Amino acid sequence: MKRIAEFLCYISFCTLLLSALYFIWRGCFPYGYWLPVIAGEPVIFDIGLVKTDAPISGTFRVKNIGNRPLLIEGIEPVCGSGGFIQVVSFPNITMLRPDETGSIVFSFHPARLQGHVQKKLAIKSNDPLTPIFLLSVRALVDLPPPVIEDRSPTFAPPLAPMLPP
CATH topology of domain 38-141: Immunoglobulin-like (2.60.40)
Helix (H) or strand (E) holding 48, with range, is strand 44-50
Nearest 10 degrees: Cα torsion 16, 20, 23, 24:
-170
Per-residue pLDDT of the chain (165 residues; tens, 9 = 90+): 778 877 777 787 777 666 665 665 555 555 556 788 888 888 888 888 888 778 888 888 999 988 889 998 888 888 777 778 777 777 656 788 988 998 888 888 888 888 888 888 888 999 888 899 998 889 888 877 667 777 776 666 666 666 666
Whole-structure pTM value = 0.64
Contact predicate 36/69, CB 8 Å? yes
